[in-house]
Amino acid sequence: MGMCPVCNNFHTINVRCPECGRSITDRGKVSDFFDDYSAYMEVDELKLEDGYKHDFKDSQCPHIFYCDSCHQEVMFFIGEW
């Protein structure tokens, strides 16, 4: 089982909006947006059901980034340690 360095505040990343090029904000891992109970489930269990084929196998944590300027959402996969 891997650990996301961004979720655990060991590392920050700077992602640019593909539309306007401005820095965009990390809104958190995708599974945080599933439902009220997803926060209580094991991270690896959620990865098996999140719709991304390789995030569990490749030890990646899918995050949603949002651009406040042009309102774009961008999916970015963070490599786990």
pLDDT tens track for 53-75: 787 777 888 899 999 999 999 98
What is the C-alpha separation between 24 and 12, in angstroms, rounded? 12
Phi, psi of 57 (to 5 degrees): -65, -40
pLDDT tens track for 21-56: 999 999 988 877 776 655 556 666 667 666 677 877
How much is the pTM?
Answer: 0.75
pLDDT score for 35: 66
Q: Which residues contact 51 (CB under 8 A, 6 or more apart)?
A: none
Identify the three-state secondary structure at position 9.
coil
Enumerate the domain spans of the chain.
15-79
Phi, psi of 60 (to 5 degrees): -125, 145
List b or e across 2-25, with b for residues whose CB sees 16 or more CB atoms inside 10 angstroms.
bebbbbeeeeeeeeebeeeeeebe
